[in-house]
């Protein structure tokens, strides 16, 4: 598979083109390096599409590598979900899955090499002392009193750290760089720490773990990565990335390039905060359809092609920007417009009795699943004496320009006859509970004689339709930037009305649809059968992926 549309040029693409043209590289190798400490979100989708997309476009390779250096927070469940998400988005990594933990022995060896060269030392400062010695953005740091330990002492201490002689946090191995560097990351950063934690892959084999910055560049180099792409917050870490590789014996020196993170309005893209929503049960799980996780978007009914197109459209740059949700929804909607069948469903049902229709009798008419795609096939749309229409398609006091049903008025039933509302039935409280209508038998597939009927509404036959649980989603937060204000907690902005569940009716042709089948419900939006709770032939559960029109750019009244 390759990107479906022309790639949008961006600075990283230009760099790669130049590197291939100049012969610096014969082919490219990229990688997507998630930490398995949560489910992936839409920001990661951007990074996946970038890394895997470039490899596809330039006929290179892209690795999937887990950055598993933080054992307390990582789990097998997360690692599996990440692999599933990458594949679902339509990508396949080169060869097997890589793990930073595959390199623990090598990383240890390079640390010993640094110590031997006098470029790393074991430091006993407490975390508080370490902070005090580090200095600030305006003040240089001070050398640790342990900085001048001899190579022999450092080798001995580091090996004893590895053997578990020291308690957690009592010592670290630090790179010996420059405590006066204007870049705080270069002020003798820790590269190994002592942590007795069970690791998902190496178990209890190690009590020391390499730090991210040290691990990442070496892992890239060991895998022969040519272009190491990451988000802008790592820009200040690049000198350290290069320092490590320049000071060990390793044949490859990948180049790191940074791009801006994706942020999306009305949602959050931080694994930590998303994890909070899950553990606090604000949502049903990581794949709750309101979540901006890949699993959530999948369950909601977003398509992989729609998400890939979104990543293409937003582009890659170094400037910070918050993308409007309508861009994502627009891409998803556009994809489904031409790729999914259309059927009728009613989400807010109002019963209509067709008084001149014989009870028990059924008429039907064939209707195609898509106006522009006859190859999608067709089904029979049955009609019987009782039908459901959308309650919102009837009004006793219609606004100007109303073309739907009114008392005494006429409307066409999509794919079927023109009906006329003869009588409005109300309950004691005055609510409309039923309409009595008559059907004009001369109007199937043709206009009524001598009058114009403009309105067309969707409907389903009560006798034939399937009862369905329909889940309608709204934005998860009430403000565009729920984590944009540092003084207020994002919980304050959770939208209490982000989910409404209604009991509706759907055409019976969806009877056996598998989980994760998408439809357009005419005039309502795009829906997808639920991955977990929808049971073909028995229980019908639909999630609304997106409405038919953009409801995000204009404020909902």
Closest contact distance (angstroms) between CB of 483 and ligand ATP is: 11
- Token couple for 154: 């450092």
Q: How far, in Å, CA of 171 to CA of 194, rounded?
A: 7
Binder among 3, 16, 30, 35 for ligand ATP (CB under 6 A)? 35
Q: Which of residues 169-188 bind ligand ATP (CB under 6 A)?
A: none
Closest contact distance (angstroms) between CB of 539 and ligand ATP is: 35
Report yes or no: 149 and 155 within 8 Å, Cβ to Cβ: no
Report yes or no: 528 and 515 within 8 Å, Cβ to Cβ: no
Sign for the pseudo-dihedral over CA of 241, 246, 248, 250: positive
332 in the Ramachandran plot: left (φ > 0), alpha (ψ -120 to 50) or beta? alpha
Instruction: Indicate whether 44 belongs to the interface with ligand ATP (CB under 6 A).
Output: yes
Instruction: Indicate whether 268 belongs to the interface with ligand ATP (CB under 6 A).
Output: no
Which one, 207 or 277, has the nearer CB to ligand ATP?
A: 277
Instruction: Kindly give the interhelix angle for 42-57 and 76-88, rounded to the nearest 10 degrees.
Output: 50
Per CB under 6 A, which region of 118-126, 262-270, 379-387, 426-434 contacts ligand ATP?
A: 262-270
Per CB under 6 A, which region of 38-46, 94-102, 198-206, 482-490 contacts ligand ATP?
A: 38-46
Q: How far, in Å, CA of 498 to CA of 290, rounded?
A: 8
Which one, 122 or 221, has the nearer CB to ligand ATP?
A: 221
Report yes or no: 191 and 111 within 8 Å, Cβ to Cβ: yes
Q: How far, in Å, CA of 155 to CA of 152, rounded?
A: 5
Report yes or no: 505 and 460 within 8 Å, Cβ to Cβ: yes
Helix (H) or strand (E) holding 263: strand 263-264
CA end-to-end span of the chain: 42
Closest contact distance (angstroms) between CB of 487 and ligand ATP is: 21
Instruction: Indicate whether 254 belongs to the interface with ligand ATP (CB under 6 A).
Output: no
Instruction: Indicate whether 387 belongs to the interface with ligand ATP (CB under 6 A).
Output: no
Which one, 31 or 544, has the nearer CB to ligand ATP?
A: 31
Instruction: Indicate whether 237 belongs to the interface with ligand ATP (CB under 6 A).
Output: no
Binder among 70, 83, 202, 270 for ligand ATP (CB under 6 A)? 270
Binder among 63, 101, 256, 269 for ligand ATP (CB under 6 A)? 269
Q: How far, in Å, CA of 384 to CA of 363, rounded?
A: 7
Annotation says 35 is catalytic = yes
Q: How far, in Å, CA of 131 to CA of 113, rounded?
A: 26
| Other beta carbons less than 10 A from residue 523's beta carbon | 16
Binder among 177, 179, 221, 230 for ligand ATP (CB under 6 A)? 230
Q: How far, in Å, CA of 270 to CA of 321, rounded?
A: 16
Closest contact distance (angstroms) between CB of 393 and ligand ATP is: 41
Q: How far, in Å, CA of 331 to CA of 328, rounded?
A: 5
Q: How far, in Å, CA of 172 to CA of 192, rounded?
A: 6
Per CB under 6 A, which region of 7-15, 145-153, 263-271, 536-544 contacts ligand ATP?
A: 263-271
CB proximity list for 234: less than 8 A, separation 6 or greater: 241, 256, 258
Closest contact distance (angstroms) between CB of 29 and ligand ATP is: 15
Per CB under 6 A, which region of 42-50, 181-189, 242-250, 446-454 contacts ligand ATP?
A: 42-50
Instruction: Indicate whether 70 belongs to the interface with ligand ATP (CB under 6 A).
Output: no
Per CB under 6 A, which region of 14-22, 188-196, 264-272, 405-413 contacts ligand ATP?
A: 264-272
Closest residue by beta carbon to ligand ATP: 43
Instruction: Indicate whether 271 belongs to the interface with ligand ATP (CB under 6 A).
Output: yes
Binder among 43, 306, 341, 525 for ligand ATP (CB under 6 A)? 43
Instruction: Indicate whether 210 belongs to the interface with ligand ATP (CB under 6 A).
Output: no
Report yes or no: 30 and 54 within 8 Å, Cβ to Cβ: yes
Task: Read off the DSSP letter of residue 405.
Answer: B
Helix, strand, coil % in the chain, rounded to nearest 5? 30, 25, 45
Catalytic residue among 171, 238, 271, 298: 271
Q: Which of residues 46-65 bind ligand ATP (CB under 6 A)?
A: 46-47
Name the residue among 265, 263, 269, 262 with its Cα closest to residue 495: 265
Instruction: Indicate whether 261 belongs to the interface with ligand ATP (CB under 6 A).
Output: yes
Closest contact distance (angstroms) between CB of 332 and ligand ATP is: 18
Closest contact distance (angstroms) between CB of 180 and ligand ATP is: 29
Q: Which of residues 402-441 bind ligand ATP (CB under 6 A)?
A: none
Binder among 34, 189, 304, 330 for ligand ATP (CB under 6 A)? 34
Q: How far, in Å, CA of 495 to CA of 474, rounded?
A: 8
Name the residue among 271, 258, 251, 221 with its Cα closest to residue 100: 221
Report yes or no: 200 and 79 within 8 Å, Cβ to Cβ: yes
Closest contact distance (angstroms) between CB of 184 and ligand ATP is: 19
Q: How far, in Å, CA of 254 to CA of 227, rounded?
A: 6
Which one, 51 or 461, has the nearer CB to ligand ATP?
A: 51
Binder among 183, 231, 339, 551 for ligand ATP (CB under 6 A)? 231
Instruction: Indicate whether 227 belongs to the interface with ligand ATP (CB under 6 A).
Output: no
Annotation says 153 is catalytic = no
Per CB under 6 A, which region of 28-36, 72-80, 413-421, 475-483 contacts ligand ATP?
A: 28-36
Report yes or no: 254 and 135 within 8 Å, Cβ to Cβ: no
Report yes or no: 537 and 512 within 8 Å, Cβ to Cβ: yes
Closest contact distance (angstroms) between CB of 242 and ligand ATP is: 17
Annotation says 73 is catalytic = no
Residues taking part in catalysis: 35, 261, 271
Interface positions with ligand ATP (CB under 6 A): 33-35, 43-44, 46-47, 230-231, 261-262, 269-272
């Amino acid at each position: 598979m390759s990107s479906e549309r022309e790639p949008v040029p961006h600075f990283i693409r230009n760099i790669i083109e130049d590197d291939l043209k100049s012969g610096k590289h014969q082919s490219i190798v990229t990688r997507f390096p998630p930490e398995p400490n949560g489910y992936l979100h839409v920001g990661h989708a951007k990074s996946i599409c970038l890394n895997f997309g470039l490899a596809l476009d330039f006929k290179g390779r892209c690795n999937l590598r887990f950055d598993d250096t933080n054992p307390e927070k990582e789990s097998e469940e997360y690692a599996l979900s990440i692999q599933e998400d990458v594949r679902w988005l339509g990508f396949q990594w080169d060869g097997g899955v890589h793990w930073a933990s595959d390199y623990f022995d090598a990383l240890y060896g390079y640390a010993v090499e640094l110590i031997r060269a006098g470029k790393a030392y074991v430091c006993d400062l407490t975390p508080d002392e370490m902070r005090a010695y580090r200095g600030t953005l305006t003040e240089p740091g001070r050398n640790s009193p342990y900085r001048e330990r001899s190579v022999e002492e450092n080798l001995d201490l580091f090996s004893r750290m590895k053997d578990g002689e020291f308690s957690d946090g009592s010592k670290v191995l630090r790179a010996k760089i420059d405590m006066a560097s204007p870049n705080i990351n270069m002020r003798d950063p820790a590269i190994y720490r002592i942590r007795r934690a069970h690791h998902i892959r190496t178990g209890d084999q190690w009590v020391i773990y390499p730090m991210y910055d040290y691990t990442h560049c070496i892992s890239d180099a060991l895998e022969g990565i040519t272009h190491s792409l990451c988000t802008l917050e790592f820009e200040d870490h690049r000198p350290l990335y290069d320092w490590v590789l320049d000071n060990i014996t390793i044949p490859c020196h990948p180049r790191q390039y940074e791009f801006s993170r994706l942020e999306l309005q009305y949602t959050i893209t931080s694994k930590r905060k998303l994890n909070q929503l899950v553990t606090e049960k604000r949502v049903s799980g990581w794949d709750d359809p309101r979540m901006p996780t890949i699993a959530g978007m999948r369950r909601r009914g977003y398509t992989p092609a729609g998400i890939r197109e979104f990543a293409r459209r937003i582009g890659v740059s170094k400037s910070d920007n918050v993308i409007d949700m309508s861009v994502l929804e627009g891409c998803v909607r556009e994809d489904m417009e031409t790729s999914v069948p259309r059927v009728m469903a009613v989400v807010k049902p109002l019963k209509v009795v067709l008084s001149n229709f014989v009870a028990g009798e059924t008429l039907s008419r064939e209707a195609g699943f898509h106006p522009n795609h006859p190859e999608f096939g067709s089904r029979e749309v049955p009609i019987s004496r009782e039908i459901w229409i959308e309650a919102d398609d009837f009004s006793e006091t219609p606004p100007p320009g109303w073309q739907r049903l009114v008392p005494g008025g006429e409307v066409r039933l999509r794919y079927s006859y023109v009906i006329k509302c003869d009588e409005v039935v109300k309950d004691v409280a005055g609510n409309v509970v039923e309409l009595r209508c008559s059907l004009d038998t001369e109007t199937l597939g043709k206009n009524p004689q001598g009058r114009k009927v403009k309105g067309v509404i969707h409907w389903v036959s009560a006798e034939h339709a399937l009862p369905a649980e329909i889940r309608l989603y709204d934005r998860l937060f009430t403000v565009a930037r729920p984590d944009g204000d540092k003084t207020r907690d994002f919980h304050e902005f959770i939208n209490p009305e982000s989910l409404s569940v209604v009991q509706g009716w759907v055409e019976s042709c969806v009877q056996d649809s598998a989980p994760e089948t998408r439809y357009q419900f005419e005039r309502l939006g795009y829906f997808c059968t639920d991955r977990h709770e929808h049971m073909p032939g028995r229980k019908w559960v639909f999630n609304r992926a997106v409405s038919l029109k953009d409801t995000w750019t204009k404020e909902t009244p």
